Amino acid sequence: MKPVSTTTSDHVPALRFNWLTGFYDRLIAATMPEKAFKMALVQQAGIRPGDRVLDFGTGTATLSILLSEQCPGADVTGVDVDEKVLTIARRKVAESRAAVRLVRYDGNKLPFERGSFERAVSSLVFHHLTRSQRQQALRELNRVLVPGGEVHIADWGKPANGLQRLLFYLVQLLDGFETTADSVRGVLPELLYEADFDNVEETGSFKTVFGTLRMWRCTK
């Protein structure tokens, strides 16, 4: 697995504006069941010693560090397009002494060879992407996974009820209506099948102050 340097395309920062990036961890910790859903995602992934794991859209590396801590012997790589958020991630990885590799990419082609990973995980990333970006990202995840590899995703999904739909307007106001429209419609499973994944299933959900967080898994 050989990362290569890339240039970064336009992207939406984690909280829409670069100046808010430094507040991301505190906001998520204060308003979301972060530990619960990320631990559920790690447990769902069923990572084994020696597995190569890609954290797609690692952000500030909270999930990557958790993967390294909870899955001894796994080879964890976090990838993101945002250099500012990766600066925070590098500091956190160094402070935790986690065995995590962090790589920046261009938002188009993942800088890894075909079949580089057994598992890919992603938390609160896909709602930042346009439909075409989402489709490209899923095709790339399929490419870098080994046959039989798995993808495990936690992200905003179709609201569970009217109140959850109303709450999700807060996310849409912050992250943009264009990118989050697919979350409201719950189309991610359809896009996973279009990207040649199989056995797509929703595995759980969390009701939050910002809407309904859903979890999925699928196989290549």
- Give the other-Cβ count within 10 Å of 35's Cβ: 11
Residue 4 lies in a domain: no
pLDDT at 21: 47
User: Is the pLDDT at 29 greater than 80, yes or no?
Assistant: no
Please state the domain count of the chain.
1
Q: What is the pLDDT of residues 187-217, one digit of tens each?
A: 999 999 999 999 999 999 999 999 999 999 9
CA distance 217 to 153: 6
In a domain, 36, yes or no: yes
CA pair distance 101, 78, nearest whole angstrom: 6
For position 185, what pLDDT does the model report?
Answer: 95
Mean pLDDT computed over every residue of the chain: 89
Tokens of 148: 């039989």
Cβ atoms 112, 144 nearer than 8 A? yes
Q: ∠ CA(215), CA(35), CA(144), 5° rounding?
A: 50
Cα–Cα separations (whole angstroms), residue 60 to 86, 145, 212? 6, 23, 22
User: Residue 147 is which amino acid?
Assistant: P
User: Residue 162: inside a domain, yes or no?
Assistant: yes
Neighbour tally for 77: CB within 10 Å = 23
Please determine, for residue 45, whether its predicted confidence score (pLDDT) is greater than 50.
yes
| Bridge partners, 89 (sequence order) | none
Which two tokens mark 18?
A: 């670069």
**Cross-strand bridge partners of residue 216:** 153, 202
What is the radius of gyration, based on Cα positions, of the chain? 16
| Domain-located, residue 47 | yes
Give the residue numbers spanning the domain of 151. Answer: 18-219
Q: Report yes or no on 153 lying in a domain.
A: yes
Q: Enumerate the H helices of the chain as residue ranges.
A: 24-31, 34-45, 62-70, 83-96, 131-144, 162-175, 177-185, 188-194
Residue 104 lies in a domain: yes
Q: What is the mean pLDDT of residues 73-101?
A: 95
Instruction: Return the H-helix or E-strand segment holding 200.
Output: strand 198-208
Whole-prediction pTM value?
Answer: 0.87
Q: What percent of the chain has pLDDT over 90?
A: 79
Contact yes or no for 195/218 (Cβ under 8 A): no
Q: What mean pLDDT comes out for the span 103-116?
A: 96
CATH code, domain with 183: 3.40.50.150
Token match 């057994």: residue?
Answer: 118
Using one digit for the tens of pLDDT, what is the confidence trace for 130-139? 999 999 999 9
Strand 52-56 to 117-123 pairing: parallel
pLDDT of residue 34: 83
The average pLDDT across 70-83 equals 95
Domain membership of residue 3 (yes or no) is no
Phi, psi for 24 (deg, rounded to 5):
-60, -50
In a domain, 1, yes or no: no
